[in-house]
Amino acid sequence: MKNSIYAVAFGMLFLTACKNDPKQAESNEMNTHEMQMGTDENHDHSSMGATTMQAGKTMGATAQKSGLTSAIIDGYLEIKNALVKEDSKKAAEGGKMMLMAFSNFDMSKLTESQHTKYMEIAESAKENAVHISKNPLEHQREHFEFLSKDINDMIALVGTDKTLYQDFCPMAGNNNGAMWLSESKEINNPYLGSKMMKCGSIQKQIN
Residues near another protein (CB under 8 A) are: 120-121, 123-124, 127-128, 142, 146, 150
- In angstroms, give the least distance from the CB of 120 to another protein: 5
- In angstroms, give the least distance from the CB of 154 to another protein: 11
Contact 105, 114 (CB under 8 A): no
- In angstroms, give the least distance from the CB of 151 to another protein: 12
- In angstroms, give the least distance from the CB of 123 to another protein: 7
Backbone angles phi, psi at 83, to 5 degrees: -65, -35
What would the DSSP string read from start to end of 123-163? HHHHHHHHHHTTS-HHHHHHHHHHHHHHHHHHHHHH--SS-
Q: Which is nearer to another protein, 88 or 128 (CB)?
A: 128
Contact 76, 151 (CB under 8 A): yes
Q: Which is nearer to another protein, 35 or 83 (CB)?
A: 83
Q: Provide the residue count of the chain.
A: 207
Q: Which is nearer to another protein, 114 or 124 (CB)?
A: 124
Q: Which is nearer to another protein, 165 or 180 (CB)?
A: 180
- In angstroms, give the least distance from the CB of 75 to another protein: 19
Q: Which is nearer to another protein, 146 or 168 (CB)?
A: 146
Alpha helices in the chain (DSSP H): 2-18, 22-36, 41-58, 70-84, 88-104, 112-132, 137-158, 172-175
CB atoms within 10 A of CB 120: 13
